[in-house]
Amino acid sequence: MNYLTPNNLKTIGLALFTIIFMSCGGGECDLQLNLPDPSNSDIYNNELAQIDSYIEQNNLTANVTASGLHYIIEEPGTGTLRPSLCDEVNVDYTGYFMDGEVFDQNDGITFGLNNVIKGWGEGIQLFGRGGKGTIIIPSYMGYGGFPPPGIPANSILIFDVTINDF
């Protein structure tokens, strides 16, 4: 007897989704990002060097996380509360490449933080409500070799963000 029928697979998928969704309730969030270790690869190190060069050429002062995400906090936001992966966030943002070409822009868009590229998942958690700044995302934390239309494969992405609410 085959237990993996299409209907059973749908039921299993729905059950898994429900378990994940329910684990985010009650103010506790168990979701965590699986972040890459950029020190193991020439590709990662090359991108980090490109980002460092961009920061230097533009006279920026940025922080960097262990994953290689670079960020600049202009306004930290109010309070000590930060969004988690289980939160929906409302943000304004402009996304552009290192040459300054804008590829995307939105004001007041809301989305689940667990449904975005890893760079956003990590970067947005660094800001509080009303926080404002820039996140610079290496391609391995963005779209890598499988980007949406309008973004070249393996692109380093820069986002100016304002966290309106979560």
The DSSP code sequence of 84-138 is -TTSEEEEEEEEE-TT--EEEEEEEEEEEGGGS-HHHHHHGGG--BT-EEEEEE-
- The predicted structure's pLDDT at residue 31: 72
What per-residue confidence (pLDDT) applies to 72? 98
The CATH number for 85's domain is 3.10.50.40
Q: Characterize 88-110 residue by residue with b for buried, 16 or more Cβ atoms within 10 angstroms of its Cβ, and e for exposed.
A: ebebebbbeebeeeebeeeeeee
The pLDDT score that the predictor gives to residue 28 is: 66
- Provide the domain limits for residue 58: 31-165
For residues 56-71, give the mean pLDDT.
96
Instruction: Domain count for the chain, please give it.
Output: 2
Read off the tokens for 123: 């970067």
One domain for residues 36 and 95: yes
**What mean pLDDT, rounded, does the chain reach?**
85
Using pLDDT thresholds of 50, 70 and 90, give the confidence band for residue 37.
low
Tokens of 95: 């996304």
